[in-house]
């Protein structure tokens, strides 16, 4: 099949390129815009208690005051606020309310801090648009107007709260995307120049993948609108890296094989057909593993991951199609001039270092397997120290952003939980008015919970059927202590609710509590499903039951090593309270799925060498000699491109960038190069049970028996000459 694709593309390269250009223009021109939502509650389905509580609040208290933005005032000299300062605060609050800024419903004064150094203005916005870009725009207007009104006074005013955090996150995301994009381009360009010493080959993948990126983003926008998925600004940064990183991987897989065919003496066009025929199955299987792993995120209960899964799967699918059609078409059109001015493509280097590594694995497979396995196990020890953090706002932007400064200052000036109090909604189950005489005792029981600073009944709805108890925690809403405390509040709220009533606990800490439960659900669902589906792909590719088990075991070790190293670097080394809660899920999918790419490429080449009559150890050595440069180049570029996410300046993308780049480096330079080939060499022919994927064609059985199974099952009668050339070229 892949040879037929290669033949069609090489015969009609111009039409293939024109078809891509037409598709790109049509998709980009007609694709809908991609909205962004940064509201944490939108991550969760309606079945969780925090979401039920939010829905109840809207019904029972439609005009309830929930601040979306908080203007925090303090004197420029840091001293206590004077009477004149208090008048200025009141004036600014009043004038902000009179400006009728879009989305702003109420502007009211807040409580001064106990030490007299701070005062607040609380701003309520339309709850229906929480987390939407229009509220970030409103926060920008509020921030600018508040600073203008404070000019000429002794006050310093800063804007915080969820709307201001969305604004700062949006600005930080744009800066991060620019840095990631520039870093990715520079790394790919410089690395390809070093590898091939050919400017055309260095620039070509950037141009082609740029075209694929436009197509993929348009398709993602269509899918997001069609399936009503949640969009998030962080996905754009990840998409850049996935498209260019994975796209360059597939480009390298093809170009290295194309160069090898040219060295074996094939005509340029035939060399490209052979390259697609030989490596196409490995690329398709690798992409299939990545796509299936990403699609497994659809099983997640978190909206963020539900959106990320299909988006990344679409991006990889578009890259796969380009790898099998667009890239071969363009390269075959240019021909060997693509390597200009270098002439190294004409002859394989004599004493290649990968040949030496291959001989080492061939001679000592047991030692290689033990040493590489112990390295992975040692790094995996760090996983026992893993802790999660749920502060998405501070995780997605630097601490120096204004809204983050406000959050930190409010924790010092007020009760740490005052910025995001917990609400307990007590409702009658029979529709009759509540017994108000029980309110005081219920509030006292809530206030006595460990971790609660205060609890009081604040309002009852018009019908008298629902009461709102405001519970202020001692801890900032996203901390582990606050999440544990809200769990205890839930237990007491449910168990001590008066007869004929039920309680629902809402607020940010309650949302984070439910996100924690959702992530734990995903660990039990997404991980196993992705692993099983990837094993199925490996089984189909290798026609083996044995090989997928140890291949997935090696990838699992790689995941453990990556998480362990990330814990040591960020929790132990940099003192982070924990890693972002979704990091293990994302890391698992990237490291397992993309890490499997390199295992697939290496094991497919090992099988090809075995089919030429080599014993398991020699096949492992030759596979490392020939596939090693491809894996090393692809692994380095992909790891380096993910490392550019660390330039974004926020802990979420820094942790993600380090973890995924480290995991890919481990997958390429430890698993694929040493662990997998040495294990396969040790297991020998049994690795391919119950099939005979490593057996050479039986020459005595006639032409028909020897041509249909050679080389990954994709070669046919017209490829016998290429098999001879390839074998002779490599052995020479």
Q: What pLDDT sits at residue 231?
A: 57
Q: Which ranges of 301-352 does DSSP label H, i.e. alpha helix? A: 303-324, 326-334
Q: What pLDDT sits at residue 727?
A: 37
Residues 655-678 pLDDT 10s: 888 998 899 899 999 998 999 999
Q: What pLDDT sits at residue 693?
A: 61
Q: What pLDDT sits at residue 273?
A: 93
Q: Exposed e or buried b for every residue in 236-246, given b needs 16+ CB within 10 A?
A: bbbbbbbbbbb
Q: What pLDDT sits at residue 237?
A: 64
Q: Which ranges of 264-382 does DSSP label H, i.e. alpha helix? A: 268-295, 303-324, 326-334, 353-363, 365-380
Alpha-carbon distance 472 to 451, whole Å?
Answer: 9
CATH architecture of 408-511: 2-Layer Sandwich (3.30)
Q: What pLDDT sits at residue 381?
A: 93
Domain limits, the chain: 2-30+168-393+514-731, 65-160, 408-511
Q: What pLDDT sits at residue 235?
A: 67
Q: What pLDDT sits at residue 711?
A: 38
In CATH, the number for domain 65-160 is 3.30.70.1430
**99-108, long-range: CB within 8 Å, 24+ apart, which pairs?**
99/145, 101/138, 101/141, 101/142, 101/145, 102/134, 102/137, 102/138, 102/141, 103/129, 103/134, 103/135, 103/137, 103/138, 103/163, 104/138, 104/142, 106/65, 108/65
Q: Are 526 and 309 in contact (CB under 8 A)?
A: no
Structural tokens at position 293: 């792993």
Q: Classify residue 669 by its DSSP letter.
A: I
Alpha-carbon distance 49 to 715, whole Å?
Answer: 57
Q: What pLDDT sits at residue 334?
A: 93
In CATH, the number for domain 2-30+168-393+514-731 is 1.20.1640.10
Q: Do domains 65-160 and 408-511 have the same CATH topology?
A: yes
- Judged on CB neighbours under 10 Å (0-12, 13-18, 19+), 24 is middle
The parts of the chain modelled with pLDDT lower than 50 are 38-41, 699-732
**Strand, coil or helix: what is 546?**
coil
């Amino acid at each position: 099949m892949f040879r037929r694709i290669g033949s069609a593309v090489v015969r009609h390269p111009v039409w293939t390129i024109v078809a891509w250009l037409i598709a790109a223009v049509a998709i980009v021109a007609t694709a809908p815009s991609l909205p962004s939502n940064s509201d944490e509650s939108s991550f969760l389905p309606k079945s969780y208690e925090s979401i039920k509580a939010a829905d109840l609040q809207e019904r029972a208290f439609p005009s309830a005051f929930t601040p979306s933005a908080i203007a925090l005032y303090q004197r420029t000299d840091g001293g206590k606020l004077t009477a004149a300062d208090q008048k200025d605060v009141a004036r600014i609050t009043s004038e902000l309310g009179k400006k009728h800024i879009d989305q702003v419903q109420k502007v009211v004064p807040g409580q001064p801090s106990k030490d007299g150094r701070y005062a607040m203005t609380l701003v309520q916005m339309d709850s229906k648009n929480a987390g939407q870009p229009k509220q970030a725009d409103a926060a920008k207007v509020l921030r600018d107007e508040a600073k203008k009104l404070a000019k000429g006074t002794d006050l310093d005013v800063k804007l915080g709260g969820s709307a201001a955090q969305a604004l700062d996150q949006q600005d930080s995301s744009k800066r991060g995307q620019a840095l990631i994009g520039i870093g990715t381009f520079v790394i790919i360009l410089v690395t390809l120049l070093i590898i091939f010493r050919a400017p055309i080959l260095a620039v070509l993948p950037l141009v082609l993948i740029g075209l694929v990126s436009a197509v993929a983003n348009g398709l993602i926008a269509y899918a997001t609108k069609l399936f009503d998925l949640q969009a998030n600004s962080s996905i754009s940064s990840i998409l850049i890296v996935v498209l260019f990183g994975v796209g360059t991987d597939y480009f390298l897989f093809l170009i290295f094989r194309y160069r090898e065919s040219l060295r074996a003496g094939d005509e340029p066009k035939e060399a490209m057909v052979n390259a697609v025929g030989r490596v196409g199955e490995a690329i398709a299987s690798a992409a299939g593993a990545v796509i299936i792993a990403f699609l497994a995120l659809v099983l997640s209960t978190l909206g963020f991951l539900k959106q990320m899964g299909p988006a990344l799967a679409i991006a990889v699918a578009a890259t796969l199609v380009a790898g099998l059609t667009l890239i071969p078409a363009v390269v075959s059109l240019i021909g060997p001039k693509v390597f200009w001015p270098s002439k190294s493509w004409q002859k394989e280097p004599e004493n290649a270092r990968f040949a030496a590594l291959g001989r080492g694995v061939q001679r000592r497979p047991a030692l290689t397997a033990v040493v590489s396995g112990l390295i992975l196990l040692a790094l995996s020890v760090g996983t026992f120290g893993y802790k999660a953090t749920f502060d998405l706002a501070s995780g997605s932007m630097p601490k120096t952003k204004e809204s983050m400064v406000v959050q930190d200052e409010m924790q010092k000036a007020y009760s740490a939980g005052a910025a995001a109090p917990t609400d307990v909604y007590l409702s009658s189950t029979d529709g009759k008015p509540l017994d108000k005489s029980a309110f005081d005792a219920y509030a006292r029981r809530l206030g006595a919970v460990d971790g609660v600073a205060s609890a009081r009944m604040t309002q009852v709805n018009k019908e008298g059927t629902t009461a709102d108890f405001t519970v202020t925690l001692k801890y900032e809403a996203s901390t582990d202590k606050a999440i544990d405390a809200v769990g205890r509040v839930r237990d007491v709220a449910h168990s001590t609710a008066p007869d004929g009533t039920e309680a629902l606990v809402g607020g940010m800490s309650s949302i984070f509590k439910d996100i924690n439960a959702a992530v734990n659900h995903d660990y039990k669902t997404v991980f196993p499903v992705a692993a099983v589906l990837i094993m199925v792909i490996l089984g189909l590719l290798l026609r083996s039951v044995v090989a997928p088990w140890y291949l997935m075991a090696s990838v699992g070790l790689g995941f453990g090593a990556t998480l362990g190293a990330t814990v040591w670097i960020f929790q132990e080394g940099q003192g982070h309270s924990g890693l972002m809660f979704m990091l293990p899920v994302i890391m698992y999918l990237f490291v397992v799925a993309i890490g499997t790419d390199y295992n697939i490429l290496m094991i497919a080449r090992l099988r090809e060498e075995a089919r030429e009559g080599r014993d398991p150890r020699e096949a492992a050595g030759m596979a490392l000699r020939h596939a090693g440069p491809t894996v090393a180049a692809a692994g380095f570029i992909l790891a380096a491109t993910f490392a550019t996410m660390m330039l974004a300046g926020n802990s979420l993308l820094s942790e993600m960038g380090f973890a995924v780049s480290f995991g890919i480096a481990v997958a390429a330079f430890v698993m694929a190069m040493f662990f997998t080939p040495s294990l396969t060499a040790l297991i020998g022919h049994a690795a391919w049970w119950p099939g005979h994927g490593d057996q050479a064609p039986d020459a005595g059985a006639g032409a028909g028996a020897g041509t249909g199974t050679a080389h990954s099952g994709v070669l046919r009668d017209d490829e016998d000459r290429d098999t001879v050339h390839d074998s002779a070229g490599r052995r020479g």
